[in-house]
Amino acid sequence: TDAPPQNTKAKPESQKKPSKKGRGGMIVLEPVAGTRDFIPSDMRYRAWLFSKFHAVAKKYGFEEYDAPILESEELYKRKAGEEITQQMYNFTDKSEQQVALRPEMTPSLARLILSQGKSLLMPVKWYSIPQCWRYETTTRGRKREHYQWNMDIWGVPNVSAEAELLAAICEFFKLVGLTSQEVGIKISSRKVLETVMKGLNISSEQFAPACVIVDKLDKLQKEDVVQQLSILGISEESSLELISIMQIKDIDELSQKIGEESVAELRQLFDLVKGYGVAEYLRFDASIVRGLSYYTGVVFEAFSISRNSELSRAICGGGRYDRILTTYGAKQDTPACGFGFGDVVILEILRDLNKIPKEVSRHVVNDLVVPFNEDLRPQACKVVTMLRDAGIPAEVYLPKTKKIANTFSYAERIDADRVIMIAPDEWNAGEVKVKYMKLQPKGVGEEEKNTVGVQFAVKVDDLL
């Protein structure tokens, strides 16, 4: 198995691992382990999914930003034992800089917010769809990269920001046809955990690492979680009490346990989301912690409601992270909250539930313009440009036209509606020859348009 790139100082040629050549000197055709190619038939699904992300962000008034995939490793140097920082795709570059392929976008966003300083008017509502990386040993066979829709609101301390983000996620669900019977969002708050931990005399220094550990409850045995908490100095009794409170699914019951003041924000949040009309997607669940150490308040996680009992993988997740800037040396913090929404799980769910429109799989070109011979190619380029300028996706047949039949099979391959032939006699008469490759929607005009395969003359000006 590939050892993770621990100390990757530049190695002398002799020690470098030879690249795995294919048979007989051919390069390896597969992408690097854990990474994906997107040929056009795959890229159409990714582009369709991203178009929904962009549409929701635009509808909610978010502004798009980006930052380099490559960041200084120090952005991710956190000591809370998170999986995300232990799987960093990091290396030493040729100027001896410790760099990493970003494992998440939030630290880059915090860097941008800090770099903008006072010039940045709050609140800030920014979004991005970055590719994020991790170094997984290939034995686990998991992906090493994914695209993650990030939506963040900075400068808003109250839960109106979380409500806006939850509404945006539900807006996306509605946009792709996912109902509240098929997906949902579980919501809690780390302030609940903070209150409970304080009541159990768990120190504030242990808060973030303890959250990272109890987040594993759905993956590890309870005993293992208790054992990992004991390493932080948390007694078995306190751990079991913490774990039992995390089983609570009702805010009233939680209020009984830790007091109404500690659940006030959650009550306010559930009131606000009713205003957005998305309450049906949302439910309180004290077991939601999320695995990132910097969360400080409300946390949430979307999941698929699977028909069989199999555990559903998180669709997206996020929360409030009010104290991230001072961890990067800022003199004061700015309240922030956001979510990350990966491209892999959601596409699997949408495919499984047959929510992706058939046309997403199709490459669309409406017209193919074919010059009868090379002398007529300039005329063909003129006609295809006229069509394109009118907003019609159109191609001009690029190979030399040897047999007209070849152009028709190409037209079928690109699923074109029409083949428009530039032929000498017709061109001299100001006309082209048109052949419809498939039945057109009723009422688009003359009878010929609904007679597939018939060729007929059309004035160039009547083509549009």
Ligand X SMILES: Nc1ccc(Br)nc1
User: Of the ranges 144-152, 172-180, 214-222, 327-335, which one interacts with ligand X (CB under 6 A)?
Assistant: 144-152
The stretch near ligand X (CB under 6 A) out of 1-9, 126-134, 199-207, 387-395 is 126-134
Regarding 103 and contact with ligand X (CB under 6 A), the answer is yes
Both tokens of 341, joined, read: 């929404």
Among residues 433, 416, 429, which one has the least CA distance to residue 380? 433
Q: Is 78 in the site for ligand X (CB under 6 A)?
A: no
Q: How far apart are the first and last CA of the chain?
A: 60
Residue 367 DSSP code = E
The CA distance from 354 to 324, in Å, is 40
Q: Does 290 bind ligand X (CB under 6 A)?
A: no
In the chain, % helix, strand, coil (3-state, to 5) comes to: 40, 20, 40
d(CA 32, CA 89): 13
**The binder of ligand X chosen from 46, 52, 143, 216 (CB under 6 A):** 143
Q: Please give the DSSP secondary-structure letter assigned to residue 318.
A: E
- Number of residues interacting with ligand X: please give it, by CB under 6 A: 10
One-character DSSP codes across 250-283: -HHHHHHHH-GGGGHHHHHHHHHHHHHT-GGGEE
For β-strands 131-133 and 145-154, DSSP reports them as antiparallel
Only segment of 9-17, 143-151, 252-260, 280-288 that touches ligand X (CB under 6 A):
143-151
The residue range among 106-114, 140-148, 216-224, 229-237 that interacts with ligand X, by the rule CB under 6 A, is 140-148
Q: Which residue has the tokens 């910097």?
A: 294
- Work out whether 418 is an interface residue with ligand X (CB under 6 A): no
Q: Please give the structure tokens belonging to residue 344.
A: 């892999």
Residue 145, interface with ligand X (CB under 6 A)? yes
- Using rule CB under 6 A, residue 104 touches ligand X: yes
Q: Smallest distance from the beta carbon of 344 to ligand X, in angstroms?
A: 7
Residue 133, interface with ligand X (CB under 6 A)? yes
Beta-carbon neighbour count of residue 400 at 10 Å? Answer: 9
Minimum CB separation of residue 243 from ligand X in Å reads 26
Selected range binding ligand X among 57-65, 138-146, 349-357, 406-414, rule: CB under 6 A: 138-146
Those residues whose C-beta lies under 8 Å from the C-beta of residue 382, and which sit 6 or more positions away, are: none
Pairing outcome for strands 145-154 and 124-128: antiparallel
| Residue with Cβ nearer ligand X (104 or 285) | 104
Choose the stretch contacting ligand X; rule: CB under 6 A; options: 21-29, 139-147, 309-317, 346-354.
Answer: 139-147
**Nearest approach, Cβ of 91 to ligand X (angstroms)?**
16
CB atoms within 10 A of CB 37: 9
Residue 12: asked if its preceding bond is cis (omega within 30°), the reply is no
**146 lies in the site for ligand X, by CB under 6 A:** yes
Nearer to ligand X, 144 or 186 (CB): 144
458 touching ligand X, by CB under 6 A: no
420/403 Cα distance (integer angstroms): 15
Site string for ligand X, 79-98 (x = CB under 6 A): -----x--------------
Out of 88, 99, 132, 434, the residue judged to bind ligand X by CB under 6 A: 132
Q: Is 46 in the site for ligand X (CB under 6 A)?
A: no
User: Which residue's CB is nearer to ligand X, number 104 or number 265?
Assistant: 104
Instruction: Tell me: does residue 107 bind ligand X (CB under 6 A).
Output: no
How many angstroms separate the Cα of 418 from the Cα of each of 281, 339, 430, 462?
46, 45, 18, 14
Q: Which is nearer to ligand X, 144 or 191 (CB)?
A: 144
Residues 197-256 that bind ligand X (CB under 6 A): none
The helix/strand count (H/E) of the chain reads as 15, 17
Nearer to ligand X, 84 or 120 (CB): 84
Q: Which stretch binds ligand X (CB under 6 A): 21-29, 132-140, 254-262, 290-298?
A: 132-140
State the nearest-atom distance from the C-beta of 145 to ligand X, in Å: 5
Give long-range contacts, CB 8 A cutoff, 24+ apart: 90-95: 90/5, 90/8, 90/135, 91/5, 91/8, 92/7, 92/8, 92/9, 92/10, 94/10
Distance of closest approach, residue 3 Cβ to ligand X, in angstroms = 19
Region from 127-135, 173-181, 297-305, 438-446 binding ligand X, contact rule CB under 6 A: 127-135
Give contact residues for ligand X (rule: CB under 6 A).
84, 103-104, 132-134, 143-146
